[in-house]
Amino acid sequence: MKKHTNDNLKDILIIGGGPAGLTAGVYAARSGMKTIILEKEAPGGKMVKTDTIENYPGFDSIKGPDLALKMYMQVINLGAEFVYDEVVKIEKQDDFFVVSTRSGQTIEALSVIIATGTLENKLGIPGEEELYGKGVSYCAVCDGAFHKGNPVAIVGGGYSAVEEGIYLSKFVSKLYVIVRKDHFRVDPVTLSKLEQLDNVEFLMNSIVKQVNGKDKVESVEIQNILTNEIKTLSVTGLFPYIGATPVTQFLDNLNLNKSEGYLTGDSKLKSNIKGLFIAGDVRDVPLRQIAIAAGDGALAGQMAVNYVQEL
Q: Could you give the angle at the alpha carbon of 76 between the alpha carbons of 115 and 89, nearest 5°?
A: 35
Q: Considering its fold, how many domains does the chain have in total?
A: 2
Residue 151 pairs in a beta bridge with 174
The answer on 103 and 127 residing in a single domain is: no
Q: What integer pLDDT is reported at residue 8 of this predicted model? A: 84
Whether 60 sits among the annotated catalytic residues: the reply is: no
Q: Domain span at residue 169?
A: 121-243
Whether 143 sits among the annotated catalytic residues: the reply is: yes
Q: Could you give the angle at the alpha carbon of 57 between the alpha carbons of 55 and 60, nearest 5°?
A: 60
Q: How far is it, in rounded angstroms, from Cα 108 to Cα 99?
A: 6
- Kindly name the residue from 11, 143, 281, 296 that is annotated as catalytic: 143
pTM for this model (two decimals)? 0.82
- Kindly name the residue from 142, 182, 187, 266 that is annotated as catalytic: 142
Q: What integer pLDDT is reported at residue 54 of this predicted model? A: 87
Q: How far is it, in rounded angstroms, from Cα 156 to Cα 170?
A: 19
The answer on 267 and 173 residing in a single domain is: no
Q: Is residue 102 part of a domain?
A: yes
Fill in the amino acid letter for 135. Answer: G
Q: What integer pLDDT is reported at residue 286 of this predicted model? A: 87
3-state helix, strand, coil in the chain (%, to 5): 30, 30, 40
Q: Is residue 271 part of a domain?
A: yes
Helix (H) or strand (E) holding 7: none
Q: Is residue 5 part of a domain?
A: no
Whether 139 sits among the annotated catalytic residues: the reply is: yes
Q: Is residue 3 part of a domain?
A: no
The answer on 238 and 128 residing in a single domain is: yes
Strand duo 174-178 + 200-203: pairing = parallel
CA 217 to chain CA centroid, nearest Å: 25
The answer on 206 and 291 residing in a single domain is: no
Q: What integer pLDDT is reported at residue 132 of this predicted model? A: 92
Q: What integer pLDDT is reported at residue 129 of this predicted model? A: 93
The answer on 92 and 230 residing in a single domain is: no
Query: What's the start-to-end Cα distance of the chain, in Å?
Result: 5
Ranges of the chain whose pLDDT falls below 70: 1-7
The answer on 93 and 78 residing in a single domain is: yes
- Kindly name the residue from 51, 85, 139, 284 that is annotated as catalytic: 139
Angstrom CA distances, 84 to 10, 40, 124, 219, stand at 16, 5, 29, 37
- The dihedrals phi and psi of 72, each to the nearest 5 degrees, come to -60, -50
- The dihedrals phi and psi of 162, each to the nearest 5 degrees, come to -65, -50
Q: How far is it, in rounded angstroms, from Cα 113 to Cα 118?
A: 15
The answer on 157 and 215 residing in a single domain is: yes
Angstrom CA distances, 22 to 39, 48, 172, 179, stand at 10, 13, 34, 33
CATH number where 76 lies: 3.50.50.60
